[in-house]
């Protein structure tokens, strides 16, 4: 992606080149309350181009709330939200998209029976010919989808196959390539690996890295520290709505990250409780600080 194809939706963008190294997206003390439920509070986050920013946290930690603010689904109720250094407040996801912020949700909005290329262009179909004879430019859509997927290193046998026949991982990859094609500068992925097996997760992680290498700022939401650490440049851990850890890769090890996620003290308490249950040999359980062994990633619990 080049700076020229940003703002493809006609938005007036502040020149991203004017301030190299400045965050594309930034939250300062941001928070969100749903009525009197405070889902998110005092969150600081910076998202840079060419980096994967991982947002980790257990269920209910506030991850989805955080990305809903950035993607324009919800509005923050405290603090600041900036894009290219300017304060923003989006009313719709369309406004976020106009600023180059694209979101791939876990339950991908695809039409399962439509071919891959058709889903690639869903809602942004290419047409040809003058009105009222304008019709779909099928050839150009097929060719472009094929090129864009190949550019990302995604090889599918046949773009005519219904997207429903692809694996979950492949569908995530198509969605990533689509966002790149339509000029995203920031790509938000909400738990893209949560429902996937080990091998498919690996494939998705590969394309997260590919999107980063094409210059995007990627926000990767996950509750799996192993997945995060494989591609992450920066790690933010949410707990009960506040940012518990904000560290770049150089400052945190996988072990520390896993401990933050596992909640060392909570695990110790659980172990104590289990010791009172007959038939559980607590000495066989892992130590709180010993959870970094590559056990099967906790999948599908989002």
Ligand X SMILES: Nc1ncnc2c1ncn2[C@@H]1O[C@H](COP(=O)(O)OP(=O)(O)O)[C@@H](O)[C@H]1O
What span, in angstroms and rounded, lies between the C-alpha atoms of 61 and 57? 5
Pick the binder of ligand X from 16, 23, 62, 72 (CB under 6 A).
62
Q: Write the interaction track for Mg ion spanning residues 16-55; mark x where CB under 5 A is met and - where it is not.
A: ----------------------------------------
Total of chain residues touching ligand X, rule CB under 6 A: 11
71 binds Mg ion (CB under 5 A): no
* 292 touching ligand X, by CB under 6 A: no
Contacts of 260 (CB under 8 A, 6+ apart): 56, 225, 237, 244, 245
Report the alpha-carbon distance of residue 21 to residue 10 in Å, rounded.
24
Query: Among 14-22, 58-66, 130-138, 195-203, which window interacts with Mg ion (CB under 5 A)?
Result: 58-66
Contact pick of 31, 57, 192, 217 for ligand X (by CB under 6 A): 57
Name the binder of 286 from Mg ion, ligand X, none, CB < 5-8 A by kind: none
* Residue 164 C-beta-side C-alpha neighbours within 13 Å: 5
Which residue from 65, 103, 172, 200 is in contact with ligand X, where contact means CB under 6 A? 65
Q: Does 300 bind ligand X (CB under 6 A)?
A: no
Produce one character per residue of 190-229: b if its CB has 16 or more CB atoms within 10 Å, e if not: bbbbbbbeeebbebbbbbbebbbeeebbbbbbbbbbbbbb
**Can you read off the two tokens belonging to residue 216?**
């995007």
Residue 149 contact among Mg ion, ligand X, none, beta carbon within 5 to 8 Å by kind? none
| Region binding ligand X by CB under 6 A among candidate stretches 31-39, 45-53, 119-127, 202-210 | 31-39
Structure tokens at 81: 């939200």
Q: Rounded distance, CA 43 to CA 111, Å? A: 36
Asked if 64 interacts with Mg ion (CB under 5 A), we say yes
SS3 54: strand
Let me know: does 53 contact 44? Beta carbons within 8 Å.
Answer: no
- The two three-digit tokens of residue 266, written as one number: 């909570």
In the complex, what is the shortest distance from the CB of residue 142 to ligand X, in angstroms, rounded to a whole number? Answer: 37
The smaller minimum CB distance to Mg ion, of residues 55 and 180, is found at 55
Q: Does 268 bind ligand X (CB under 6 A)?
A: no
Candidates 2, 59, 91, 276: give the one binding ligand X (CB under 6 A): 59
The footprint of ligand X (CB under 6 A) covers 34, 37, 39, 57, 59-65
């Amino acid at each position: 992606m080049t700076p020229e194809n940003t703002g493809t939706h006609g938005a007036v963008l502040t020149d991203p080149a004017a301030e190299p190294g400045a965050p594309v997206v930034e939250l300062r003390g941001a928070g969100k309350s749903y009525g009197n439920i405070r889902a998110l509070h005092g969150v600081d986050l910076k998202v840079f181009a060419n980096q994967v920013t991982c947002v980790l946290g257990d269920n209910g930690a506030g991850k989805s709330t955080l990305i809903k603010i950035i993607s324009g689904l919800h509005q923050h109720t405290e603090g600041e939200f900036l894009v290219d250094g300017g304060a923003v407040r989006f009313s719709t996801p369309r406004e976020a998209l106009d600023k180059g912020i694209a979101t791939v949700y876990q339950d991908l909005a695809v039409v399962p029976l439509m071919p891959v290329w058709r889903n690639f262009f869903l809602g942004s179909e290419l047409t040809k010919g003058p009105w009222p004879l304008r019709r779909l430019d099928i050839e150009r859509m097929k060719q472009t989808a094929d090129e864009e997927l190949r550019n990302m290193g995604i090889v599918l046998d046949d773009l005519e196959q219904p997207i429903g026949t692809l694996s979950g991982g492949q569908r995530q990859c198509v969605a990533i390539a689509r966002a790149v094609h339509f000029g995203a500068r920031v790509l938000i992925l909400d738990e893209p690996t949560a429902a996937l097996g080990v091998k498919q997760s690996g494939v998705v992680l590969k394309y997260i890295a590919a999107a980063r290498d094409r210059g995007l700022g990627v926000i990767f939401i996950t509750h799996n520290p192993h997945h995060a650490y494989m591609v992450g440049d920066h790690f933010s851990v949410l707990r009960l709505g506040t940012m518990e850890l904000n560290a770049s890769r150089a400052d945190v090890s996988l072990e520390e990250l896993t401990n933050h996620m596992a909640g060392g003290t909570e695990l110790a308490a659980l172990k104590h409780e289990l010791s009172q249950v007959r038939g559980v040999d607590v000495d066989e359980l892992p130590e709180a600080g010993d959870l970094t062994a590559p056990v099967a990633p906790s999948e599908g619990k989002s």
